[in-house]
Amino acid sequence: MARKKNITKDNIITWYMEFVLENNHQPKSVFSFAKENNFEEADFYKFYGSFDAVEEAIFSEFFHHTITVLAKSEDYENYDARNKLLSFYFTFFEVLTANRSYVVYALENAKRDLKKMKSLKSLRENYIQFVENLNIERIELKQETLEKIQNKSIKESSWMHLLITMKFWLDDVSPSFEKTDIFIEKSINARFDVMDIKPLKSIIDFGKFILKEKVNFN
């Protein structure tokens, strides 16, 4: 039988996901994987260097599909940062739910072998960039080192929040994962309420006024 030609990255991802779900482990080799799916082994390496790279690409594709869906909404661009993040979460977890069996397989393996967490590397990079582009209002510290600390804190806490939400979703047994929806809404609203700098700005402005006017409270 003639080997398939013009295979795509999506073909490889689809065949890979089907294999691991049917066998609960990675293919033994690229050669056997290519033979089973009737394509040339060399074609695999046009796109990926290893099966671990395929796993990383899968989570990256979940992210990009989410962004594509959001971009189709005429209202999305007019949302504030809070509602953009809520929209991302609800859409992203719809994508994960559509592929839940694979995500469970991938993340369960990651828990047994922390090295497998590298499959989330591209997702982390993409998500952190997404959060940065939200332009979440932050305090103007006017000190480079403190600004860097604040920015890093927002990025790392945002990533940790996504991981925690994924863990909650994995453990959720409610119908249609409705408890995850509640967790998303309440946790993101709580995060933005904590980060709300308007009250803090008022306190800082008041403090500056007190210092400027040298008010004596004695």
pLDDT at position 193 is 74
Residue with the larger pLDDT of the pair 166 and 202:
166
The domain segmentation of the chain, as residue ranges, is: 1-49, 55-190
Residues 184-214: tens digit of each pLDDT: 999 998 888 766 545 445 545 545 654 664 5
pLDDT at residue number 183: 94
Q: What are 158-165's contacts with CB under 8 Å, separation 24+?
A: 158/127, 158/128, 158/131, 159/124, 159/127, 159/128, 161/187, 161/188, 161/191, 162/127, 165/89, 165/93
Q: pLDDT tens digits, residue range 86-131?
A: 999 999 999 999 999 999 999 887 666 645 578 999 999 999 999 9
Greater pLDDT, 75 or 141: 75
Q: Is 55 in contact with 122 (CB distance < 8 Å)?
A: no
- Position 27 scores a pLDDT of 97
Report whether pLDDT(150) > 70.
no
For residue 190, what pLDDT is reported? Answer: 84
Please, what is the average pLDDT of the chain?
Answer: 84
pLDDT at 203: 46
Read off the pLDDT of residues 5-35 as tens digits, 9 standing for 90 and up: 789 999 999 999 999 999 999 999 999 999 9
Tokens linked to 119 = 């499959």
| Position with higher pLDDT, 105 vs 1 | 105
pTM of the model: 0.83
